[in-house]
């Protein structure tokens, strides 16, 4: 299949093994299938609406993917302006119909005046380059507040958030909101304040700052690869998580993972290191966390007189440093919370430069089991995980990935422009 405009398909139909071989002259004017096309008098053919869309790949090859058929019950979004206009009807049901680039856009958070109570289906398209530089200000992300809403198939890439308080790429406060099949990659940094407030960072997370409400507000099949940095000699840092800062109130978390790192800097302060985890930060009351893993690191650097320490699990109110965790933060252990079949990579999390380090008394190993990188590359490690429908793994080569974003997923092939 050629990416160049041609006036006929004289080469006829070819198999999927040959449809990208434009280097072979006799196939240069071929197509895999010619159906539902509209020919014109010059021999060109255009796509009928609703049929498969032919696009150009990053390596010069052609590929195709199934068209997203508009849902008549939803409002379609094709442009930045239409995405921003969700604020005009916060109870509407929406779906995104193509990739949306927010580069250079001064973004106003959705649900910043009143809660978003509708639904948004991203249809597995990409929202890229969300940028909100708040200085010493608060609140940054696609959504601010949602209540009894649904956010599905939304993928944020290359976001940049900076500020002091409440920062997460997808949503700040998600109350009784179903969030599923979402992901984010990008960075979050602390405020630009000076003096005692230099580089403060509070309530920040790789996907959502806080969840609450009933079990209907579940978070599942989501992942992040986010770098969160903040702090200085005078900074205050609290409630930071690789996926969620403060999960609670029955909003369970299932089948999710986090990568990236949380890099915090500070000296003696009751705030330093408080409730920071590579997966979740603060408490998880009335919550369930099942079949999740973290390979993120949470190093802490003190420019002052305290040693550099990384604690595996910590107790609330302990000394500075005890609340930085490779999986969960300070108050993750609750009697009313269930943890099942969660794991973290002890090698990827890093080793404290000044061992030995200790476990906090209130955070037992049952929250998440430490494994080596080699063990994390093996399907047998992940007891009860569904590798037929939810997860997949390249044995001995890589960590598990969700099938939404795995090597065999339509989503992955659409991004890489491979035939499906």
DSSP letter (8 states) at residue 107: P
Per-residue CA distances from 338 to 188, 301, 370 (Å): 30, 32, 18
Number of C-beta neighbours around residue 65 at 10 A: 19
What pLDDT, on a 0 to 100 scale, did the predictor assign at position 277?
Answer: 74
- Label the pairing between strands 391-392 and 401-402: antiparallel
**How many distinct helices (H) and strands (E) make up the chain?**
4, 38
Is the separation of the CB atoms in 200 and 234 below 8 Å?
no
| Burial classification of residue 213, based on how many CB atoms lie within 10 Å of its CB (0-12 exposed, 13-18 middle, 19 or more buried) | middle
CA dist., res. 316 & res. 299, Å (int)? 19
| Burial classification of residue 52, based on how many CB atoms lie within 10 Å of its CB (0-12 exposed, 13-18 middle, 19 or more buried) | middle
Nearest to 222 by CA among 211, 237, 208, 236: 208
CA dist., res. 322 & res. 385, Å (int)? 30
DSSP letter (8 states) at residue 225: E
| Domain chopping of the chain, boundaries | 12-65, 75-415
Chain center to CA of 196: 32
DSSP letter (8 states) at residue 411: H
DSSP letter (8 states) at residue 134: -
> What does each of the 420 residues of the chain score in pLDDT, given as a tens digit?
334 444 455 555 666 555 555 566 656 666 666 565 666 555 455 556 555 555 544 444 455 556 678 999 999 999 999 999 999 999 999 999 989 999 999 999 999 999 999 999 999 899 999 999 988 788 999 999 999 999 999 999 999 999 888 999 999 999 999 999 999 999 998 876 655 455 677 788 999 998 887 666 689 999 999 988 876 656 666 778 889 888 876 668 899 999 887 776 654 344 444 567 778 876 555 568 889 998 866 654 433 322 222 222 223 333 333 344 546 544 444 556 677 888 888 777 654 433 333 333 333 456 778 888 999 999 999 999 999 999 999 999 999 999 876 655 666 666 655 444
Number of C-beta neighbours around residue 369 at 10 A: 17
Helix (H, G, I), strand (E, B) or coil at 366: helix
Nearest to 218 by CA among 279, 170, 149: 149
What pLDDT, on a 0 to 100 scale, did the predictor assign at position 420?
Answer: 42
Number of C-beta neighbours around residue 67 at 10 A: 14
CA dist., res. 314 & res. 321, Å (int)? 8
What are the backbone angles phi and psi of residue 185, rounded to the nearest 5°?
-135, 140
Nearest to 149 by CA among 89, 196, 198: 89
Nearest to 156 by CA among 225, 104, 245, 244: 225
- Label the pairing between strands 274-277 and 324-325: parallel
Nearest to 265 by CA among 322, 323, 304, 311: 304
Is the separation of the CB atoms in 136 and 193 below 8 Å?
yes
Nearest to 313 by CA among 363, 245, 238, 262: 363
Q: Which CATH architecture has domain 75-415?
A: 3 Solenoid (2.160)
CA dist., res. 331 & res. 396, Å (int)? 34
């Amino acid at each position: 299949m050629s990416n160049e405009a041609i006036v006929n398909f004289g080469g006829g139909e070819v198999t999927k093994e040959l449809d990208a071989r434009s280097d072979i002259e006799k196939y240069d004017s071929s197509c895999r299938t010619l159906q539902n096309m509209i020919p014109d008098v010059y021999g060109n053919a255009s796509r009928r609406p609703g049929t498969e869309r032919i696009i150009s790949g990053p390596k010069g090859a052609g590929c195709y993917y199934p068209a997203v058929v508009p849902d008549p019950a939803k409002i379609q979004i094709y442009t930045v302006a239409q995405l921003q206009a969700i604020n005009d009807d916060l109870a509407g049901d929406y779906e995104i119909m193509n990739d949306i680039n927010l580069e250079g856009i001064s973004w106003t958070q959705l649900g910043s005046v009143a809660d978003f109570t509708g639904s948004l289906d991203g249809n597995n398209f990409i929202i890229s380059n969300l940028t909100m530089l708040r200085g010493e200000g608060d609140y940054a992300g696609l959504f601010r507040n949602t209540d009894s809403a649904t956010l599905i198939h939304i993928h944020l890439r290359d976001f940049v958030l900076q500020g002091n308080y409440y920062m997460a790429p997808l949503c700040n406060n998600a109350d009784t909101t179903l969030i599923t099949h979402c992901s984010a990659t990008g960075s979050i940094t602390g405020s630009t304040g000076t003096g005692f407030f230099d580089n403060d960072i509070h309530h920040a997370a790789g996907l959502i700052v806080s969840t609450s409400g009933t079990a209907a507000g579940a978070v599942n099949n989501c992942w992040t690869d986010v770098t969160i940095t903040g702090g200085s000699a005078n900074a205050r840092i609290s409630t930071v998580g690789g996926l969620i800062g403060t999960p609670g109130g029955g909003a369970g978390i299932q089948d999710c993972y986090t990568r990236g790192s949380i890099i915090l800097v500070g000296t003696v302060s009751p705030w330093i290191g408080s409730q920071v985890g590579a997966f979740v930060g603060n408490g998880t009351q009335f919550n369930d966390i099942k079949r999740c893993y973290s390979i993120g690191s949470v190093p802490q650097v003190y420019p002052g007189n305290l040693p550099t320490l990384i604690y595996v699990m910590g107790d609330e109110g302990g000394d500075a440093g005890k609340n930085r965790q490779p999986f969960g933060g300070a108050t993750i252990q609750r009697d009313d919370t269930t943890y099942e079949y969660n794991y973290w990579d002890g090698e990827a999390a890093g080793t404290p430069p000044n061992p030995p380090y200790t476990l906090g008394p209130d955070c037992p190993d049952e929250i998440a089991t430490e494994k080596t990188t080699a063990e994390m590359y093996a399907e047998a490690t992940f007891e009860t995980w569904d590798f037929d429908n939810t997860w997949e793994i390249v044995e001995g080569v890589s960590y598990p990935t969700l099938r939404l974003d795995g090597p065999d997923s339509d989503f992955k092939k659409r991004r890489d422009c491979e035939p499906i």
